[in-house]
Amino acid sequence: MNASPFDPPEGSLRNSVGRGAVATASAQALKVATQILSVIVLSRLLSPQDFGIVAMCAPVLAFIALFQDFGLTQATVQKSAVTHDDVNYLFWINIAVSVGLACLMMGAAPLVAALYGEQRVGPLIAAMAVPIVAYGLGAQHLALLNRRMDFGRLAIIEIASAVAGFCTAVAWATIDRSYWALYAGTLMSAILPTVCYWASSRWVPGLPRKSEGAGALLNFGAGITGFNFANFFARNLDNILIGRYWGNAELGLYDRAYKLLLFPLSQVTNPLSKVMVPALSRLAAEPDRYRSAYLRVMPLMLVVALPGVAAAIAIADMLIPFVLGEQWRQSSDIFRALGFAGLLQPLNNPAGWLFISQGRSGEFMRWGIVTAVTSALAFVIGLPHGALGVAVLYAASEYARTPFLWLYVCRKGPLRVADVVRAAMPFVLGSHAAVAGVWLVRPFLADHMVLAILTAGILSYAITLAVVLLFPFGRGTMRDAVGLLPKRTIKPTRDRA
């Protein structure tokens, strides 16, 4: 029997992680496909002005989202043992925060409309209060499903919500071709999962009542929120500075290069984060298993992500015009500079898994502040040289921060700096060697663009793996990767009597 109805079944951790990674990645792929289809279909039904009005709301919503959860879902997932009173208390805190933010949005709606000089933005901002409250209603039920590692059910809910939101927006747009169709899709994508979380979690809240462990849970959530705020600052200041001092054309080149790099990387790291944080949290009291789990997953992520980034860096001047169009060729050098930061981010971003699963949200927040300050300093130093200068200095800051990040993370907990170096070094060295190797053969690539890009990618993976196999840990990781491939079972035939 379970030690707690809020925990996954005993002995199910290893299988849950494997199945969860597959289910979450599959859901992510289907969500991306739905989003692409949504862009294509709704772009034919609605005008650019409709999308522009919704885009005006995006900065406000992104800022509000920093405080909406208040880190309390992660608190529920991470804590070694939770009670009904704990979850019930956090549920009502989530409701109070969501209602407060909703009221703030409705009050700020006229001010936002006046800022843009577009009166239609005001009612839309006010209406966005409803999805915020809907999220607050389901936040703790979602956290319980994550804590139980019920990733298959969560994947189904994510897919159903994405499809339902798309269908709702399209149906509304066929009747009323206005920006309200986009709002209708957003609303459906907020309400449906909340209903599903309630139905699936098998937990019903009671009346508001304080829990004895409430203080620790709120402190943990505050640390997560502090990191998110610092990260939001670091992720947006570069756009603000470039737009302010160099104009929208230079900002457009920087933005497209950044999005083209960040989007593929996020498709690798985001699904794994949803699986690894609950899994590592359950292993926090077992140092050897905790270390083993992290050191098995992190290198596999690196071998998937880094060779692709390396190839993209080496052939950026071919890749960018092919993917985005000839008019974006100027962003190739910006993309290449940001790509070097991309060679370290798949290693550094999972450090958050360690901070959260070990209950070190305060340290997580402090590291977020360090990242924000050093990134801001890099942006300011690079700004006189335009978007390319900002990109180059940002990549340099990523390299400068990396050793200090791992010294800070590994000063506590089961993982040691030597463990990280031993696990990551083969893949980091291999990907940098791949950049050089693909760069040298660029003149000999085929004239056909698709064939040239495929050749560069294959060569990058081959060079990376060749370097990886020089290291004992690298060879062990590749054996693990081969072991994950589906095996065909051949049943012996029996002679019939």
Q: What is the DSSP string of 107-129?
A: HHHHHHHHHHT-TTHHHHHHHTH
Whether the CB-CB separation of 95 and 136 falls below 8 Å is answered with: yes
pTM for this predicted structure: 0.80
Return the number of other C-beta atoms located less than 10 Å from residue 420's C-beta: 21
Please return the burial class of 152, using the count of CB atoms within 10 Å of its CB with bins 0-12, 13-18 and 19+: middle
Whether the CB-CB separation of 193 and 146 falls below 8 Å is answered with: no
Per-residue confidence at 489, pLDDT binned at 50, 70, 90?
very low
* Chain position carrying tokens 């180059």: 392
Residue 79 CA to its chain's centroid (Å): 22
Whether the CB-CB separation of 105 and 136 falls below 8 Å is answered with: no
pLDDT digits (tens, 9 = 90+) for 15-41: 566 666 677 777 777 887 787 788 778
* Chain position carrying tokens 């000839």: 326
Supply the angle between the helices 316-324 and 332-342 in degrees, to the nearest 10. 110
For the chain, give the percent of residues with pLDDT over 70: 90
Return the number of other C-beta atoms located less than 10 Å from residue 15's C-beta: 12
Per-residue confidence at 497, pLDDT binned at 50, 70, 90?
very low
Q: What's the one-letter identity of residue 125?
A: I
pLDDT digits (tens, 9 = 90+) for 243-266: 778 877 788 788 878 877 776 676
Whether the CB-CB separation of 419 and 291 falls below 8 Å is answered with: yes
Per-residue confidence at 1, pLDDT binned at 50, 70, 90?
very low
Distance between CA 379 and CA 402 in Å, rounded?
A: 18
Distance between CA 138 and CA 68 in Å, rounded?
A: 12
Whether the CB-CB separation of 280 and 293 falls below 8 Å is answered with: yes
Whether the CB-CB separation of 162 and 189 falls below 8 Å is answered with: yes
Distance between CA 318 and CA 329 in Å, rounded?
A: 8
CB burial string 114-133: b at 16+ within 10 A, e below: eeeeeebbbebbbbbbbbbb
Closest by CA to 94, choosing from 67, 123, 129, 116, is: 67
Q: Which of the listed ranges 233-247, 277-291, 340-354, 471-485 does the model predict with the highest average pLDDT?
A: 340-354
C-alpha pair distances (Å), 23 with each of 16, 20, 302, 438: 10, 5, 20, 34
Neighbouring residues of 443: CB distance < 8 A, sequence distance ≥ 6:
none
Q: Which residue has the higher pLDDT, 53 or 182?
A: 182
Dihedral sign, CA of 185, 187, 190, 193?
A: negative
Closest by CA to 334, choosing from 249, 392, 265, is: 392
Distance between CA 302 and CA 379 in Å, rounded?
A: 27
How many CA atoms does the CB half-sphere of 461 hold within 13 Å?
10
Mean predicted confidence (pLDDT) in 437-460: 90
Specify the pLDDT at position 46: 79
Which tokens belong to 243?
């737009």
Judge whether residue 8 has pLDDT over 70.
no
Q: What's the one-letter identity of residue 21?
A: A
Judge whether residue 171 has pLDDT over 80.
yes
For the chain, give the percent of residues with pLDDT over 90: 34
Judge whether residue 410 has pLDDT over 80.
yes
Per-residue confidence at 392, pLDDT binned at 50, 70, 90?
very high
Q: Which residue has the higher pLDDT, 188 or 147?
A: 188
Whether the CB-CB separation of 443 and 414 falls below 8 Å is answered with: no
Mean predicted confidence (pLDDT) in 285-297: 89
